[in-house]
Amino acid sequence: MAPASLRLSPPSVAGRAVHALDRRADALFGEGSNPLRQLGALAVWMFWVVLGTGAYLYIVFDTSAAGAYTSIDTLSTQQPWLGGLIRSLHRYASDGFALLTALHVIREWALGKYSGFRWFSWVSGVPLLWLALASGLIGYWLVADTRALFVATGIGEWVGAMPGFGAGLMRNFITSEAVSDRLFSLLIFLHIGTALFILLGLWIHLQRIVRAATQPARPTTLFAAGTLLALCLVLPGLSEAPADFSRVPLSVPIDWFYAGIFPLMQLISPIGLWLVGITGSVALLVLPWSRRTPRPAPAVVDLANCNGCGRCFDDCPYGAVVMAPRLDGRRHSVQAVVQSDLCASCGICVGACPSSTPFRSIQQLVTGIDLPDLPLSGVRDQVQAALLTHPGATIVFGCDHGADVTQLDAPARVNISLPCSGMLPPSFTEFALRHGAARVVVASCGEHACSYRLGGQWTHDRLLGLREPALRERERGAQVQLLHAQKGQEAQLHNQLIEIETTQRASATPPPHHV
């Protein structure tokens, strides 16, 4: 049966690779603890570790040119189990932050999560990359060892190549006499300042994300903390020899996560590195507008059917629905208003609306909030029409971003794909059963694998009666099944469906709602 939903462009090769990796990692870690699904949250967690350990280091750091090196080096030599450990955590958490941030960017790009309504989150993340680089590099400078001198020289040569700074910048740290106490005061100010700007930038980055997952799942956090701690114990972060302005070490053990730009600079010149950095940033900034895929129409509110209950406001994963004072003079104090620019057209608000019940006696089903491209009345009509021709069929509600249910054609089976399983009001399952369906299967992407973040969780909670609108308790049974199936898992879903159908037929119990 043809799906009612809008079809999406197929995922790219990179997207398919990410989906395949996710499925393997889900099997290993469990969907909720899969670190690949929590790269952003893990990066934020690493950043908190950096901030926490940085607070201690700031207390003990000597901002004089003569004392900076010793104040950090003695942490490792005189208090390895406290200061040394904290210092190592600071270093490796900042490295982990850099690596996880890079993986987070690559993953979101591969999954195509950078355009349309997501442009703001993508664009606001770009300055964070520069801030992270600046904060990390300045942090290495503070240690005042040979690695610091390498970083200082690299920064001086790089920034000095910019018009307005000039070659004179290098003179501030080319000899020991030129390095003053004020330089280290300035550096610590810049180091902490950029870190605080990262915090501000993260807040902006998450502005259009409701219930942003900034904390990884508990098992993931425990594993990450254990890993970080083990790394610090096995390979503690240590200072190199004190900076010597009269000598260059033949080789330096640089931190490639941050200082890796300087070997590149040696190859392509400081101006070349600026060109790479600026071109790369501009490319990232314009990427959201590089795709010509038309955006589906945003959800619309029908005031005659909106009682201002706020469930769509509660459930929208992107804050696209707000409650505003009523404009139509009805007795309800507020009404839902859709901010079109923020709307993902996922339909989760439709599934949340109490007026989205297909049992309403009105001729044309009109709900309080609906998708113009896929109105709920169309879904109801599709269910009714399908059951007229296929009485006793299995109705499968799938998700456009999950396993493609349109590939699961089988006798006595009706497949309907929605933009998100969260669009399905729970009462639709009951409606289908009363109109002759033998059973209803909702194939969701999973509670932690939803392309629209919260659709899988809301679907689960609504069908289990944990969240309004909830499926009535007496309807929860063998006739309504919730399965998890992601893109690429069509075969597994098909097998699960066959198993369900076979088992229920064998039990020979007539469906209770068969009419």
Partner 1 sequence: MSKFVRYPIQALLYALFALVVGYFSTSPRYHLLKEGEGLLRLSLQHPGKLLVECRQRSAEELAKMPPNMRTSAECPRERSPVAVRVELDGKPIIDDSYAPAGLSKDGASAAYRRMPIPTGEHQLHVRINDDKNVQGYTHDRAFALNVKPGQIVLIDFQPELGGVVVR
Q: Under the rule (CB under 8 A), what is the footprint of partner 1?
A: 27-29, 91-92, 95-96, 99, 150, 157, 160, 166-168, 170-171, 174-175, 223-224, 226-228, 230-231, 234-235, 237, 245-257, 259-260, 262-263
Residue among 263 and 477 whose Cβ is closer to partner 1: 263
Q: Give me the least distance between CB of 22 and partner 1, in Å please.
A: 14
DSSP 2-26: ---SPPPPPP-HHHHHHHHHHHHHH
Residue among 101 and 367 whose Cβ is closer to partner 1: 101
Residue among 98 and 129 whose Cβ is closer to partner 1: 98
Q: Give me the least distance between CB of 181 and partner 1, in Å please.
A: 22
Among 357, 360, 387, 383, residue whose Cα is nearest residue 370: 357
Q: Give me the least distance between CB of 54 and partner 1, in Å please.
A: 17
Residue among 241 and 286 whose Cβ is closer to partner 1: 241
Residue among 160 and 193 whose Cβ is closer to partner 1: 160
Q: What token pair was written down for 249? A: 């070490």
Buried b (16+ CB within 10 A) or exposed e, 186-203: ebbebbbebbebbeebbe
Residue among 92 and 452 whose Cβ is closer to partner 1: 92
DSSP H helices, 390-512, are: 427-434, 455-463, 490-507
Rg (C-alpha) for the chain, rounded Å, is 28
Burial class (CB in 10 A: 0-12, 13-18, 19+), 6: middle
Q: Give me the least distance between CB of 152 and partner 1, in Å please.
A: 13
Q: What's the distance, CA 510 to chain centroid?
A: 44
CA angle, 427 as apex, 425 and 431 as ends, to 5°? 125
Q: Give me the least distance between CB of 95 and partner 1, in Å please.
A: 5
By the 8 A CB rule, do 70 and 81 touch? Answer: no
Separation CA 100–CA 96 (nearest Å)? 6
Q: What token pair was written down for 423? A: 């669009």
Categorise residue 483: left if φ over 0, alpha if ψ from -120 to 50, beta otherwise: beta
By the 8 A CB rule, do 439 and 26 touch? Answer: no
Q: Give me the least distance between CB of 96 and partner 1, in Å please.
A: 5
3-class DSSP state of 429? helix
Q: What token pair was written down for 302? A: 């029908």
- CB neighbours of residue 53 within 10 Å: 21
Q: Give me the least distance between CB of 133 and partner 1, in Å please.
A: 15
Residue among 164 and 325 whose Cβ is closer to partner 1: 164
Q: Give me the least distance between CB of 23 and partner 1, in Å please.
A: 13
Query: CA neighbours within 13 Å on the CB side: how many for 165?
Result: 15
Residue among 96 and 425 whose Cβ is closer to partner 1: 96
Q: Give me the least distance between CB of 72 and partner 1, in Å please.
A: 16
Among 98, 146, 158, residue whose Cα is nearest residue 253: 146
Residue among 18 and 352 whose Cβ is closer to partner 1: 18
Residue among 230 and 300 whose Cβ is closer to partner 1: 230
Q: Give me the least distance between CB of 9 and partner 1, in Å please.
A: 32
Sign of CA dihedral 414, 481, 347, 289: negative
Separation CA 19–CA 12 (nearest Å)? 10
Residue among 64 and 172 whose Cβ is closer to partner 1: 172
Q: What token pair was written down for 233? A: 């114990």
Q: Give me the least distance between CB of 25 and partner 1, in Å please.
A: 9
